[in-house]
């Protein structure tokens, strides 16, 4: 389990992380989302032990991460800004990784090189950005990590390669109980693979919940009544409301059974209740502009 407790970090007087908590369960995929500058990469660099927090605690399996070689030997990290030794090709990089990671799997490495169809002899510095990301993924997954930390891992990859990347990740979670923390702006893709979600904003954790639970408590509703009703939504937490002709469009944060009970009692002629997508929840929770929210939600 990855645990971040009350972590603070300041750079030159700027608070990058503020009392931040994060909990990633063993054998799960945790999605970290937030706007640009929210602190996602800063948090990831703390979880991987690259940076040291000013306050709070970061542990994996209840031991501190910073300067912990035993944990780092079992951790794979792919940053958004990739770095390779400029003169190395993929084969030479594999030999370097083999010397660092005791659980290096040469058979997996060879299989992945064939599947991703990359040259082992061409210098990595001459690869395209997308090919470099593939190379980094091959190298990291061949170390057989117990903990995989990914910062924008699929940016610049075509749909076929993205599918192959997630196939390896999901299989390792299922078969080896690998634990994954992934940051990405691709919310639709995150929604399809993540067990839990953390929404980060201005260095603070706004929401951290299981994805199914998060989606089950926020609903998109279309409702119309035969005759005007006085306060028909009493007892509900209505976050957003607009009227389009005879139909009212609402965002409501309540249990589904309570929503159905309250509105159903008013005998509506139209009543459609749907969960929001992760993208919609993200935009609403972070206070997107009114027109922007309406355009996406409805």
User: What CATH code is carried by the domain that includes residue 287?
Assistant: 3.30.70
> Could you tell me if 89 and 122 are in contact, meaning their C-beta atoms sit under 8 angstroms apart?
yes
Domain match, 184 and 69 both: yes
pLDDT of 298 higher than 60: no
Sign of the alpha-carbon dihedral angle for 18, 195, 165, 4: positive
User: What CATH code is carried by the domain that includes residue 93?
Assistant: 3.40.50.300
Which band of pLDDT confidence, cut at 50, 70 and 90, is reported for residue 214? confident
**Could you report the per-residue pLDDT of 58-90, keeping only the tens digit for each?**
999 999 999 999 999 999 999 988 888 889 999
Q: Among the three residues 210, 228, 248, which one is the final residue of a domain in this structure?
A: 210
CA distances from 251 to 159, 217, 218 (A): 32, 11, 7
Enumerate the β-bridge partners of residue 64.
Answer: 59
Q: Give the pLDDT score at 169.
A: 97
Domain match, 203 and 278 both: no
Domain match, 62 and 185 both: yes
Domain match, 72 and 195 both: yes
Q: Please tell me the total count of domains within the chain.
A: 2
> Could you tell me if 133 and 156 are in contact, meaning their C-beta atoms sit under 8 angstroms apart?
yes
Task: Give which of 45, 70, 41 is closest to 58, Cα–Cα.
Answer: 45
Domain match, 205 and 223 both: no
Domain match, 158 and 287 both: no
Q: Give the pLDDT score at 295.
A: 42
Q: Among the three residues 182, 210, 238, which one is the final residue of a domain in this structure?
A: 210
pLDDT of 289 higher than 60: no
Measured at the CA of 50, the angle between CA 178 and CA 76, to 5 degrees, comes to 25
44 vs 22: CA distance, rounded Å: 11
Range of the domain at 287: 217-297
> Per 3-state DSSP, what percentage of the chain is helix, strand, and coil (rounded to 5)?
35, 30, 35
Radius of gyration of the chain (CA): 23
The Cβ-side half-sphere exposure at 38, using a 13 Å CA radius, reads 20
Beta strands, E only, 152-257: 179-183, 196-201, 204-210, 218-224, 238-244, 247-253
Q: According to the per-residue pLDDT averaged within each range, which of 44-53, 204-213, 220-229, 276-285 is highest? A: 44-53
Domain match, 11 and 101 both: yes
The reported pTM is: 0.87
**Could you report the per-residue pLDDT of 147-172, keeping only the tens digit for each?**
999 998 888 889 999 999 999 999 99
**Could you report the per-residue pLDDT of 183-208, keeping only the tens digit for each?**
988 888 889 899 999 999 999 999 89
Domain match, 135 and 277 both: no
Domain match, 179 and 237 both: no
Buried b (16+ CB within 10 A) or exposed e, 137-148: bbbbbbbbbbbb
For residue 144, what are the contacts with CB-CB under 8 A and spacing of at least 6?
A: 101, 103, 104, 105, 108, 176
Strand pairing report for 147-151 and 179-183: parallel
Domain match, 6 and 43 both: yes
Q: Give the pLDDT score at 189.
A: 86
Q: Give the pLDDT score at 208.
A: 93
Task: Give which of 74, 29, 45 is closest to 182, Cα–Cα.
Answer: 29
Domain match, 230 and 292 both: yes
pLDDT of 25 higher than 50: yes
Q: Among the three residues 172, 190, 210, which one is the final residue of a domain in this structure?
A: 210
Of the given ranges (1-5, 29-33, 194-198, 279-283), which has the lowest mean pLDDT?
Answer: 279-283
Q: Count CB-CB contacts under 10 A for residue 9.
A: 22
19 vs 285: CA distance, rounded Å: 19
pLDDT of 229 higher than 60: yes
Domain match, 122 and 265 both: no
């Amino acid at each position: 389990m990855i645990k971040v407790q009350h972590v603070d970090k300041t750079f030159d007087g700027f608070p990058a992380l503020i009392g931040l908590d994060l909990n990633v369960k063993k054998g799960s995929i945790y999605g970290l989302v937030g706007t640009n500058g929210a602190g996602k990469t800063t948090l990831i660099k703390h979880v991987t032990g690259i940076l040291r927090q000013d306050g709070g605690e970061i542990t994996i399996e209840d031991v501190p991460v910073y300067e912990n070689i035993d944990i780092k030997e079992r951790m794979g990290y792919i940053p958004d800004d990739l770095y390779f030794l400029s003169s190395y090709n993929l084969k030479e990089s594999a030999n370097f990784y083999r010397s660092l990671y005791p659980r290096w799997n040469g058979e997996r490495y060879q299989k992945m090189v064939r599947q991703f169809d990359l040259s082992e002899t061409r210098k990595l510095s001459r690869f395209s950005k997308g090919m470099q990301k593939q190379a980094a993924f091959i190298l990291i997954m061949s170390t057989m990590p117990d903990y995989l930390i990914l910062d924008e891992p699929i940016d610049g990859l075509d749909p076929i390669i993205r599918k192959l990347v997630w196939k390896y990740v999901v299989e390792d979670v299922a078969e080896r109980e690998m634990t994954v923390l992934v940051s990405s702006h691709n919310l639709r893709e995150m929604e399809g693979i993540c067990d839990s979600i953390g929404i980060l904003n201005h260095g603070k954790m706004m929401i951290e919940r299981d994805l199914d639970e998060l989606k089950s408590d926020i609903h998109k509703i279309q409702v119309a009544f035969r005759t005007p009703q006085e306060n028909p939504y009493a007892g509900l937490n209505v976050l957003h409301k607009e009227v389009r002709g005879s139909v009212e469009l609402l965002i409501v944060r309540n249990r589904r059974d309570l929503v159905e009970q309250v509105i159903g009692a008013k005998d509506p002629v139209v009543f459609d209740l749907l969960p929001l997508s992760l993208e919609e929840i993200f935009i609403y929770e972070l206070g997107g502009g009114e027109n922007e929210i309406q355009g996406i939600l409805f």
